[in-house]
């Protein structure tokens, strides 16, 4: 049994290794250790006596946030850890009065099962011209954009 908690400084190197592994597999974009420290408060981990998963909620704009850096080690996948991490981030977004949360992902089916719907990347201009401009994949990004809205879920 595990629990979701905020990231601690002592988790950063383990998180970096996990993200680096999946970036090497081509299933997510890696993060530098420096960016992890810079954005430490965005992250939560699923703790099972060590990091059994990680996810971040990054606030982008007035009513828009991004789910990013979702990673669960292969041997822990299929246990609901990723779902719990994403739900924790969505709950935090709602508590912050952020109604729209998007993700850019290579795993769109997972997010669709959680109520995200497809969206054109062009509908995310703030995102494209901030983080994406500095991404090594830009302008040839092959991630899929999806969005979740609390207003859709609450109806």
> Mind listing the pLDDT tens digit for each residue in 83-133?
999 999 999 999 999 999 999 998 999 999 999 999 987 787 555 555 554
The count of domains in the chain is 1
DSSP 71-132: E--GGGTTSSHHHHHHHHHHHHHHHTT--EEEEEES-HHHHHHTT-EE--GGG-HHHHTTTG
Whole-model pTM: value is: 0.88
Q: Which CATH number belongs to the domain containing residue 113 in this structure?
A: 3.40.630.30
Domain that holds residue 99: 3-154
Return contacts of 6-13, CB within 8 angstroms, 24+ apart.
Answer: 6/41, 6/43, 6/44, 6/45, 7/40, 7/41, 7/43, 7/44, 7/45, 7/54, 9/40, 11/45, 11/51, 12/36, 12/37, 12/40
148: how many CB neighbours lie within 10 A of its CB? Answer: 23
> Mind listing the pLDDT tens digit for each residue in 38-60?
999 999 999 999 999 999 999 98
């Amino acid at each position: 049994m595990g629990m979701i908690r905020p990231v601690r400084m002592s988790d950063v190197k383990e998180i970096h290794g996990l993200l680096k592994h999946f970036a090497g597999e081509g299933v997510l974009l890696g993060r530098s250790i420096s960016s992890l420290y810079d954005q430490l408060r965005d992250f939560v981990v699923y703790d099972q006596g060590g990091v059994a998963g990680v996810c971040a909620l990054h606030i982008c704009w007035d009513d828009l946030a991004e789910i990013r850096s979702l990673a669960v080690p292969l041997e822990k996948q299929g246990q609901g850890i990723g779902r719990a991490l994403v739900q924790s981030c969505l709950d935090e977004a709602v508590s912050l009065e952020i109604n729209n949360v998007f993700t850019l992902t290579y795993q769109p089916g997972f997010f669709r099962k959680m109520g995200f719907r497809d969206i054109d990347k062009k509908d995310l201009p703030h995102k494209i011209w901030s983080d994406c401009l500095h991404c090594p994949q830009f302008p040839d990004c092959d991630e899929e954009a999806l969005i979740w809205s609390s207003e859709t879920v609450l109806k």
